Amino acid sequence: MSVAHCRMATFRPYQLQRSKSVSTRLVRASFKALKYPAAPRTWLQCPRSPLTTPRPYQPPSPFTQRLLSTMGDSATPEAPSHPPVERSREDGRERKLLHFIYDQPNRDEIQGNPAKVLDLIEEFGKTYHFMNIGRAKGKFIIDIIEEKKPEVMIELGGYVGYSAILFGDAVRRAGGRHYYSLELNPEFAAIANMLLELAGLRDFVTILVGRSDLSLDKLFSSGHVKHVEVMLIDHYKPAYTADLKLCEQLGKIVPGVSVVVADNVLYPGNPPYLEYVRSTVEQKREAAKKGPVQAYDTTNLPQRSVGSFMPADATPSFELTGNPNLVYDSKLVKPETTRDAIEVSRCVGIQE
Ligand SMILES: C[S@@+](CC[C@H](N)C(=O)[O-])C[C@H]1O[C@@H](n2cnc3c(N)ncnc32)[C@H](O)[C@@H]1O
Report whether residue 163 contacts ligand 1, using a CB cutoff of 6 Å.
yes
Mean pLDDT of the chain: 83
Distance 184 CA to ligand 1 centre (A): 7
CA-closest candidate to residue 133, choices 174, 161, 102: 161
Ligand 1, atom nearest to 155 Cα: 6
Instruction: Sort strands 152-156 and 178-183 into parallel, antiparallel or unpaired.
Output: parallel
Distance 81 CA to ligand 1 centre (A): 31
Does residue 61 belong to any structural domain of this protein? Answer: no
The reply to whether 126 and 43 lie within a common domain is no
Distance 189 CA to ligand 1 centre (A): 10
Does residue 177 belong to any structural domain of this protein? Answer: yes
The reply to whether 197 and 250 lie within a common domain is yes
The reply to whether 345 and 287 lie within a common domain is yes
Distance 117 CA to ligand 1 centre (A): 19
276-286 residue pLDDT tens: 999 999 999 99
Report whether residue 185 contacts ligand 1, using a CB cutoff of 6 Å.
yes
The reply to whether 219 and 307 lie within a common domain is yes
Ligand 1, atom nearest to 235 Cα: 12
How far is 172 from 186, CA to CA, in rounded Å? 25
The reply to whether 12 and 135 lie within a common domain is no
The reply to whether 34 and 170 lie within a common domain is no
pTM to 2 decimals? Answer: 0.79
Task: Please report the pLDDT score of residue 309 as a whole number.
Answer: 96
Does residue 81 belong to any structural domain of this protein? Answer: no
Distance 334 CA to ligand 1 centre (A): 21
The reply to whether 296 and 173 lie within a common domain is yes
80-126 residue pLDDT tens: 334 333 333 568 999 999 999 999 999 999 999 999 999 999 999 99
Total of domains in the chain: 2
Does residue 98 belong to any structural domain of this protein? Answer: yes
Query: Which CATH number is 305's domain given?
Result: 3.40.50.150
The reply to whether 193 and 314 lie within a common domain is yes
The reply to whether 41 and 156 lie within a common domain is no
Report whether residue 234 contacts ligand 1, using a CB cutoff of 6 Å.
yes
Report whether residue 196 contacts ligand 1, using a CB cutoff of 6 Å.
no
**Order of strands, edge to edge, in the sheet holding 259-262?**
205-209, 178-183, 152-156, 230-233, 259-262, 342-350, 326-333
Report whether residue 330 contacts ligand 1, using a CB cutoff of 6 Å.
no
Task: Please report the pLDDT score of residue 91 as a whole number.
Answer: 86
Q: Whose CA is nearest to atom 13 of ligand 1?
A: 157
The reply to whether 192 and 305 lie within a common domain is yes
Does residue 341 belong to any structural domain of this protein? Answer: yes
Does residue 72 belong to any structural domain of this protein? Answer: no
Q: Are 177 and 149 in contact (CB under 8 A)?
A: no
Task: Please report the pLDDT score of residue 348 as a whole number.
Answer: 98
The reply to whether 318 and 184 lie within a common domain is yes
SS3 state at 32: helix
The reply to whether 7 and 105 lie within a common domain is no
Does residue 222 belong to any structural domain of this protein? Answer: yes
Distance 35 CA to ligand 1 centre (A): 27
Does residue 16 belong to any structural domain of this protein? Answer: yes
**Domain enclosing residue 16, as ranges:** 3-52
Report whether residue 309 contacts ligand 1, using a CB cutoff of 6 Å.
yes
Q: Give mean pLDDT, residues 254-271.
A: 98
How far is 146 from 233, CA to CA, in rounded Å? 18
Report whether residue 133 contacts ligand 1, using a CB cutoff of 6 Å.
yes
Report whether residue 239 contacts ligand 1, using a CB cutoff of 6 Å.
yes
Kindly indicate the confidence band of residue 62, based on its pLDDT and cuts at 50, 70 and 90.
Answer: low
